[in-house]
Amino acid sequence: MSIKILPKLGQPADTEQLVECTKCSGKTSHSVLAIVDVRGSEGDHRYSFDWHTAHQLIQCLGCKTISYRVVSSNSEGYYQDENGNTVYEESEKLYPPRIAGVKGLGDEVFLLPQKIRQVYEETLTALSVNTPVLAAIGLRALIETVCKEKEAEGGDLFRKIDSLVEKRVLTPVGATILHKIRTLGNAAAHEVKPHSEKQLSLALNIVEHLLKDVFILPKQAESEFADDA
C-alpha cells in the first residue's frame, strides 16, 4: 500500500466550484483557497485499487464565508459518458454540513426561547447530515416544544395543536399544516420511516415560518416600536 500526500497550500485553483453555501441560499461560486491532495494505491501488478481525496479550503464568492470541502473518488467507481469517455464518480462532503436550498434562521435564532432554539438547532443539524428519521422526530419535537411554551391545552399533540388555534396563536390553515408534520414525526418515531429531503426541507420551512410568527416577529416589533403609543 502506498499513500502520497501532495499539499498545494496557498495555490488558488484555476477553476471555481459551484457549491452549496452555508449562508447564501442555494449553490454559489466558490474559489478554492488551498488544496491538500491525498492519493493511495493498494494491490499488486495484476490488480490495484487506487483512490484520491482532495481536501479543499473554499470561499463563497458572494458572502465570503470560508468552509471545507472533501472530494473523493476511486478506480472502482466510474461510468462511460455519451462520448465513450471514462468519468470517475466523485463524492462530496462539506463542513460545516449544509442543506440544499435551506438558509436557516441565521442570527434570528437568538430571539427564540432557549429550549426551542436548542431543538431547532439539533433538528437543523440532523437534516444537514442526512439523518431523515432523526430530522422528522426533531420537527415533531419542535412543535411539541412550541405547544408547551404557548401553554397549549389537551392530552395529546393533536389536541394541543388545535388548542393553539383557539388561543389565536395559530391560524386554522397553519394547524392543518402542523398536523401533517406531526404525522411525519409519528411515522419516523414509530415506523422508523425516513422521509425525503424535499419533504423535510418543506416541513422545516413551515416550522421556521411558525417560529417567526410566534416568537421572532413579536420580539422584533417590541424592540423597534418600543416608544410608540
Binding interface with Zn ion (CB under 5 A): 21, 23-24, 28, 60, 62-63
Q: Which is nearer to Zn ion, 11 or 25 (CB)?
A: 25
Query: Which are the contacts of 99, defined by CB distance < 8 A and separation ≥ 6?
Result: 20, 124, 127, 128, 197, 201, 204
CB distance 221 to 214 below 8 Å = no
Residue 145 CB coordination number (10 Å):
18
Q: From the CB of 108, what's the least distance to Zn ion, in Å?
A: 18
Q: Which is nearer to Zn ion, 7 or 62 (CB)?
A: 62
Q: From the CB of 18, what's the least distance to Zn ion, in Å?
A: 12
Q: CA 177 to CA 196: how far, in whole Å? A: 17
What does 142-196 look like in DSSP terms, one character per residue?
Answer: HHHHHHHHTT--SSSHHHHHHHHHHTTSS-HHHHHHHHHHHHHHHHHHHH-----
Q: From the CB of 23, what's the least distance to Zn ion, in Å?
A: 5
Q: Which is nearer to Zn ion, 3 or 100 (CB)?
A: 100
Q: From the CB of 31, what's the least distance to Zn ion, in Å?
A: 12
Grid cell digits, residue 55: 481536501
Q: Which is nearer to Zn ion, 59 or 163 (CB)?
A: 59
